[in-house]
């Protein structure tokens, strides 16, 4: 933690062995940071895979942001976390050791010059019409993100609002929530997703390569402008409790079929209800 930054009255950075502290902080405050969960070798491999998937001739423009929305299907290293016990021990504890399935995964490539990413919550009510994001972001899945360069407010870093993950959270002081509670805006202004990163409840996160940032499905978060000198690389995945049925869902993509087929036997229980991602899908009712 750097000096001169905002402080909280409780611990939110944990050693990977403190699974109960991690679970409790995420449950009570909507986020937690796990220090040095990944080895430097794993971080380097994930960086190389993010670059391989997302850095091409279209990624040379200053400020561009690119996404891969089924990254685990393309990343051997991210897939290896499904058998990496220090990680899975945390995941199981987050959900109270109920049977789990892989929910979704992603990677993000952000070049210097990228603007502020507006404040938002990943959760949205599953009310027609909704997208694949709207389906998979209403399953109770906590996001597990790895900022592979570390995260810092000067370099496209993440900010969250502690304790904003409850259903009745009223929004920051002086702000109104937008339709469906997706974001918020200052009272008296036109409704639009907030890009102001300087208000009392905004809490910038600082992390190092190898750290994991966990935040709850409803936790509000935003992204600072990227004023650094190298692409910001990140990736993440989430799980959901097994047994959730989805009606009228997209057909399982071929890449997801191949991923499931290639998983070792010990991983099969974690992927047998995995549905992949079809970003073009919209609900039919």
Please check whether residue 35 is in contact with residue 15, taking contact to mean a CB–CB distance below 8 angstroms. Answer: yes
List phi, psi (to 5°) of 181.
65, 25
Inform me whether the pLDDT recorded for 2 exceeds 90: no
Euclidean distance between CA atoms 190 and 186, whole angstroms: 8
- Whole-number Å distance between alpha carbons of 238 and 152: 23
Q: What is the reported pLDDT for 210?
A: 98
Whole-number Å distance between alpha carbons of 111 and 274: 31
Which residues are 241's β-sheet partners? 100
Residue pair 278/90 in contact by the 8 Å Cβ criterion? no
Bridge partner residues of 158 (DSSP): 223
Per-residue pLDDT tens over the stretch 6-47? 889 999 999 999 999 999 999 999 999 999 999 999 999 999
pLDDT-derived band of residue 248, with 50, 70 and 90 as boundaries? Answer: confident
Q: Residue 194 — pLDDT band, cuts 50, 70, 90?
A: very high
Q: What is the mean pLDDT of residues 200-218?
A: 97
Question: Considering the chain, what percentage of its residues have pLDDT values greater than 70?
Answer: 98
Instruction: List % helix, strand, coil for the chain (3-state, nearest 5).
Output: 25, 25, 50
Q: Spell 55-72 as b/e; 16+ CB within 10 A means b.
A: eeeeeeeeebbbebbbbb
pTM, two decimal places: 0.95
- Nearest in space to 214 (alpha carbons), one of 238, 242, 198, 191: 238
Residue 102 parent element (H or E): strand 100-110
Listing DSSP states for 30-69 in one string gives: SEEEEET-S-HHHHHHHHHHHHHHH-SGGG-STT-EEEET
Predicted confidence band of residue 178 (pLDDT cuts 50, 70, 90): very high
Chain segment 57-83, per-residue pLDDT in tens: 776 788 999 999 999 999 999 999 999
């Amino acid at each position: 933690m750097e000096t001169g930054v905002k402080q909280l009255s409780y611990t939110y950075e944990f050693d990977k062995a403190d699974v109960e502290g991690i679970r409790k902080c995420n449950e009570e405050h909507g986020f937690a940071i796990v220090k040095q969960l990944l080895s430097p070798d794993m971080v380097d491999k994930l960086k190389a895979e993010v670059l391989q998937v997302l850095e091409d001739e279209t990624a040379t423009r200053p400020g561009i942001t690119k996404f891969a929305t089924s990254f685990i299907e393309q990343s051997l290293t991210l897939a290896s976390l499904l058998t990496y016990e220090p990680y899975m021990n945390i995941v199981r504890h987050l959900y109270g050791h109920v049977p789990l399935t892989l929910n979704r995964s992603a990677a993000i490539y952000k070049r210097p010059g990228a603007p502020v990413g507006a404040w938002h919550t990943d959760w949205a009510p599953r009310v027609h019409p909704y997208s694949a994001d709207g389906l998979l972001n209403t399953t109770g899945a906590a996001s597990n993100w790895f900022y592979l360069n570390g995260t810092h407010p000067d370099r496209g870093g993440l900010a969250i609002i502690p304790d904003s993950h409850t259903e009745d959270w009223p929004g920051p002081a002086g702000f109104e929530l937008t339709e469906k509670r997706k974001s918020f805006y200052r009272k008296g202004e036109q409704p639009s997703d907030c890009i102001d990163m300087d208000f009392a409840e905004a809490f910038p996160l600082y992390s190092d390569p190898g750290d994991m940032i966990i935040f709850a499905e409803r936790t509000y978060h935003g992204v600072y402008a990227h004023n650094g000198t190298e692409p910001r690389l990140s990736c993440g995945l989430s799980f959901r409790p097994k047994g959730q049925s989805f009606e009228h869902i997209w057909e399982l993509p071929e890449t997801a079929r191949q991923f499931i087929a290639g998983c070792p036997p010990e991983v099969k229980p974690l992927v047998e209800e995995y549905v992949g991602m079809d970003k073009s899908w919209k609900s039919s009712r």
